[in-house]
Structure 1
Amino acid sequence: MKHSYFAVDLGATSGRTILGSFAGGELKLEEVNRFPNQLIEVQGHFYWDIYELYRNIIEGLKIVASRGVKITSIGIDTWGVDFVLVGKDGHFLRQPYAYRDPHTVGAPGKFFERVPSSRVYELTGLQVMNFNSLFQLDTLRRNNDSALAAADKILFTPDALSYMLTGEMVCEYTIASTSQMVNAKTRKLEPEMLEAIGLTEDNFGRFVYPGEKVGVLSKGVQRITGLGEVPVIAVAGHDTGSAVAAVPALGENFAYLSSGTWSLMGIETPQPVINAVTEELNITNEGGVEGTIRLLKNICGMWLLERCRAEWGETSYMELINDAQAAEPFRSIINPDAPVFANPSNMEEAIRQYCKDTDQPIPETRAQIVRCIFESLALRYREVLDSLRKLTSRSLSSLHVIGGGSRNNLLNQFTANSTGAVVYAGPSEATGIGNVMIQAMAAGAASGIAEMRKIVNESIPLTTFEPKDKTEWDEAYKVYLNILKTQKP
């Protein structure tokens, strides 16, 4: 019997729904519908439109139903940390804040006045970022936010959408692990963190792990879509968790780079790694599938170029890459994770100002801007990969680049040159594949991640990039490290 799985994959700039199957040991994916996911700015705050996301999911389900496709299950993955506040009557209290909202600037420092940062890291093992859910909620608490005061439940984004489909409230482990409210060792919500912001486990849905059933489509959704009681499965609700599950590696000596709006570089470990070194390096321990930990670092990724392209209007992605390839190398270098690039009003001007402030040539053309972004990302990747190498006995001689960025051959070659690792690029649809994989395992159609990765490896052509130009990139890396030391705040 052929199983068809409906995967909802939502990123910070766009979303899509996918039909996937593993028929005869072969992976097949088909995009059903694709749609934008845009920030909404109102009176200085940035929100997500949860209802528009739901509407597009429903549209995808209606398309599938109209074609007479029998769906085995549905799974939803999204970006991390953000959440919806739900009232006692089960209704959403407002559109959810987006993690790029400026209200959390400086939030970690205020929280650490009450709970030491070392204690937070000891319990959660999570990288400190101002928009982590813990700091978002603490900011709402300090601001006497009316929605939080009235909230009965807090649902992370994929769980909120599952609730809209099923009426069942859950708190899925991998998405919750991005919040800084999950104990990395017990893999459950940490009471000490919750107490610090006036919450308890009762403020969250039933705690579930990847592969568990959330519920079935509600009567209302069945009527709207024309589908029956299709199960909704808790996949790895964090999109990176789903993407990492689909890394087509056949052994353990590898690192991964999930390349999209964000770049997330890491390794899989059986247990969290929490010590003075990981705390100093701000390395994060997030939940993975089959009991694994994703030991990783969040890096600002293609957000830089996406924002520039939005400012430039209709521009050809390939034309920009080709022009960048012909531009002068290492003319200007930035720290992609500098706070000024988090959500500037004009990204191109922010990059130019950074170069001016660090006494470098100011990029004058779009090609120079793009070259600066790609080279700087590759140098940042080297910095992070070197840190991961220090934390493991593995050489990490291969780096699997997955996600949309795996199609960027220029950046992939730069990454190989910078890190000294052999880069294997693909699949670009890793998140959707991982989502489908976990549904397939829940349906009993696959025995585990190792088997599924082997299928992905055999089904998806990978592109290999060997390191080149070592001397030039080593010199550029010295310049990059010096800029990090001398950059102005």
Structure 2
Amino acid sequence: MNRYFLAIDIGASSGRHMLGWMEDGKMKLKEMHRFENRQVMKNGHLCWDLENLWTGVVEGLKACKNEDMIPETIGIDTWAVDFVLLDDKDEIIGDAVAYRDERTKGMDSEVFSIIPEKELYAKCGIQKQPFNTIYQLMAVKKDIPEALQAAKTFLMLPDYLNFRLTGVKKQEYTNATSTNLVNAKTKAWDMELIDRLGLPAGLFGELSQPGTVVGELCEAIVKEVGFTSKVILPATHDTGSAFLAVPARDETSVYLSSGTWSLLGVENREPITTEAARKENLTNEGGAFGTYRFLKNIMGLWIIQSVRRELNGTEYVEGRKSKYATGITYSFPDLIAEARAAEGFETVLDVNDESFLSPVSMIDAIKHYCADHDKAVPETVGEIMQCVYKGLSQCYADTVKQISEITGKEITGINIIGGGCQDGYLNELTAKATGLPVYAGPIEGTAIGNLVIQMINAGLFSDLAQARDCIFKSFSIEEF
């Protein structure tokens, strides 16, 4: 009889329940449920619809029961940086504000007035991004200090979902590192930093490593879904899970987790918190098994996804309507075809420009960027797509060079995992821009990495090396 394990993998636009098991020496996957993850405007802020998210989690568990495929263990991973504050009755204080909200504008200056940017990087090793949790918390402290005063618990979003499933509160390490409040060397909350920022020390407790048991499903959940199971911490930061699924067998390749964000980097055993690394805006995210992901967060397929929504006339957030709706429904292959037909268009975007983070219109943002930087302004769909694709591939090439120079490693290949690895055109451009072979797959990298932790915990794999060997044999890898 098969032993089943469930990865609940939640991204910024959707979540899915992926069941995994071993069969004839290979890992098998089955998607049990998929649900929308949406953002809504509440009280003037862009927020996560947590109740919709929670409903999706529970419905996916019911789907396992309906298929009579009951998981031994369950692991949840999500995106990073976002959190909730709970009061003394474990009720959420305020709203679950999303990282693309504008509340963090100017908060970097607030933080750096207390701790200089160089010192912060030397402590935590996390790249500066305007939405990092440290800036979100400073926004709360400045705008609604009473929320911090009333707070008894701080939980990143996967920690919060685990709490609702089990009644047990744990703060998981890999996601916590994205807050910019964890000391890179000690792998614990930097309480000296937290004190200097004036944040309540009691919100930050012991950090738990991937593989830690959270607890059994609580009685109310068991009654609702029809079975009991154990919740285990994977690397709850989705990039941390994704990197575990890379089937690379050497240390000279870079990893690229490609989705809404592109996370490009290498695994290290020690953090690199030098001034050179800070200037290149490289980060040291905590990983499983004592590793650090030395990488850069790149805007990724978010730009392409946003352009597609506008062209198709669909909304991303309540109240935002597209003026670029064409009456044509573009698929991603359609957009790739348009881009190929416009290969002579030479404009290259800086895809990490902050104007692309959360614009009302991504197409307008692209055109304004080009005009402001004296570049040819794209007019057709193909030209818009071409400058985005060129921008992404060039950013990948620049980042590979930066990582090579700082680590001293000669990079010999790029391993792309996640949904974005299906974009053959981007893979081709990346291989051309970097001059390196590109290996694409597996597609379900994040869910697979989530399952790896569970399966190691269950004794199906002895260690990560054995798990990666199995991944290499179980899933197709395409070379470009």
TM-score, length basis structure 2: 0.94
Q: Which secondary structure state, in structure 2, belongs to the residue aligned with residue 19 of structure 1? A: strand
Whether 2:319 is the aligned partner of 1:320: answer no
Residues 303 and 362, structure 2, Cα contact 8 Å, conserved in 1:
yes
Please state how far the C-alpha of 1:200 moved relative to its aligned partner. 4.9
In 2: Cα distance, 1:200 partner to 1:389 partner? 39
How far apart are the structure 2 equivalents of 1:35 and 1:66?
A: 17
Residue type of the partner of 2:35?
Answer: F
Distance 1:146 1:311, change over 3 A: farther
In structure 2, how many angstroms separate the alpha carbons of the residues matched to 1:3 and 1:329? 53
Aligned match of 1:7: 7
Greater mean alpha carbon deviation, residues 420-429 or residues 232-241 = 420-429
The Cα shift of 1:309 comes to 1.1
Kept after mapping to 1: 8 A contact 2:210/2:453: yes
The residue aligned with 2:19 is 19
Instruction: Supply the AA of the counterpart residue of 2:66.
Output: S
Counterparts of residues 216-231 of structure 1 (less than 5 Å): 216-228=216-228, 230-231=229-230
SS at match of 2:70: coil
Counterparts of 1:385-424 in structure 2 under 5 Å?
385-424=400-439
Partner of 1:151: 151
Q: What one-letter code is carried by the residue in structure 1 that aligns with 2:107?
A: A
Question: How far 1:205 sits from its partner (Å)?
Answer: 5.2
1:443 and 2:419 equivalent?
no
Structure 1: state its 5+ residue gaps.
466-489
User: Is residue 468 of structure 2 the alignment partner of residue 453 of structure 1?
Assistant: yes
Deviates more, 1:98-107 or 1:322-331: 322-331
Which amino acid is the alignment partner of residue 267 of structure 1? Answer: V
Q: Out of 349-358 and 327-336, give the one that drifted further.
A: 327-336
3-state SS of the aligned residue for 2:273? coil
Q: Distance in 2 between matches of 1:457 and 1:450?
A: 11
Q: d(CA) in 2 for partners of 1:206 and 1:303? A: 34
Distance 1:272 1:360 in 2: 38
Aligned residues: 464
Secondary structure at the counterpart of residue 294 of structure 2? strand
Task: Report the counterpart of residue 447 of structure 2 in structure 1.
Answer: 432
Distance 2:310 2:258 in 1: 21
Asked if residue 348 in structure 1 is aligned to residue 349 in structure 2, the reply is no
Give the superposition deviation at 1:282. 1.5
In the other structure, the counterpart of 2:305 is 306
- What secondary structure is seen at the aligned counterpart in 2 of 1:329? coil
Indicate the SS of the match to 1:27: strand
2: CA distance, partners of 1:275 / 1:204: 26
2:60 is paired with a residue of what secondary structure? helix
The CA deviation at 1:330 is: 4.2
Does the CA contact (< 8 Å) of 1:169 and 1:206 recur in 2? no
Q: Aligned with 2:288: secondary structure?
A: coil
Contact 2:339 2:382 in 1 (8 A): yes
Pair 37,70 (structure 1): closer, same or farther in 2 beyond 3 Å: closer
Query: Shift of residue 191 of structure 1?
Result: 0.5
Task: Indicate the SS of the match to 1:290.
Answer: helix
**Any idea what SS the aligned residue of 2:27 has?**
strand
Q: Which runs of 5+ in 2 are unaligned?
A: 313-328
* Contact kept in structure 1, 2:195 and 2:201, CA below 8 Å: no
Residue 315 of structure 1 aligns to a residue whose secondary structure is coil
Partner of 1:469: none
Indicate whether 1:95 and 2:110 are aligned: no
Counterpart code for 2:42? V
Letter in 1 for 2:340: Q
Which residue of 2 is the match for residue 45 of structure 1? 45
Within 2, Cα distance between the matches of 1:270 and 1:9? 26
Q: Over residues 376-421 of structure 1, what are the superposed CA-to-partner deviations in whole Å (9 max), with x where a residue is unaligned?
A: 1000111111100012232111000111110000000001111111
Task: Give the Cα separation in 2 of the matches to 1:336 and 1:441.
Answer: 37
- SS of equivalent to 2:51: helix
Q: Could you list the per-position Cα deviations for residues 173-224 of structure 1 after superposition, in whole angstroms to 9, with x for gaps in the alignment?
A: 0000111011111111110222133335531354210001011100000001
Return the alpha-carbon distance in structure 2 between the equivalents of residues 204 and 189 of structure 1. Answer: 7
What SS does the corresponding residue of 2:359 show, helix, strand or coil? Answer: coil
The residue aligned with 2:73 is 73
Matched residue SS, 2:22 = strand
| 1:310 partner letter | R
What percentage of aligned pairs have identical amino acids? Answer: 39
Residue 160 (str. 1) matches residue 175 (str. 2): no
Report how far residue 145 of structure 1 moved.
4.1
1:262 deviates by: 0.5
How far apart are 1:106 and its partner, in Å? 2.1
Which string of whole-angstrom CA distances, capped at 9 and with x for unpartnered residues, describes residues 222-274 of structure 1? 0010012x110010000000000000101111101111111110100011111
| Contact 1:273/1:295, CA 8 A, preserved across alignment | yes
State the 1:144 CA deviation. Answer: 2.8
Offset of 1:306 from its aligned partner? 0.9
One-letter code of the match for 2:294?
A: L
Q: For 2:76 and 2:195, how far apart are their aligned partners in 1?
A: 29
Greater shift in the superposed pair: 61-70 or 144-153: 144-153
Considering only aligned residues, what root-mean-square deviation do their CA atoms show, in Å?
1.3
Kindly indicate whether the alpha-carbon contact (under 8 Å) linking 2:438 and 2:479 is maintained by their aligned counterparts in 1. Answer: yes
Q: Secondary structure at the match of 1:186?
A: coil
SS of structure 2 residue aligned to 1:236: coil
Provide the residue aligned with 1:269 in structure 2.
268
CA distance in 2, matches of 1:423, 1:415: 7
TM-score relative to the length of structure 1: 0.93
**Corresponding residue for 1:138?**
138
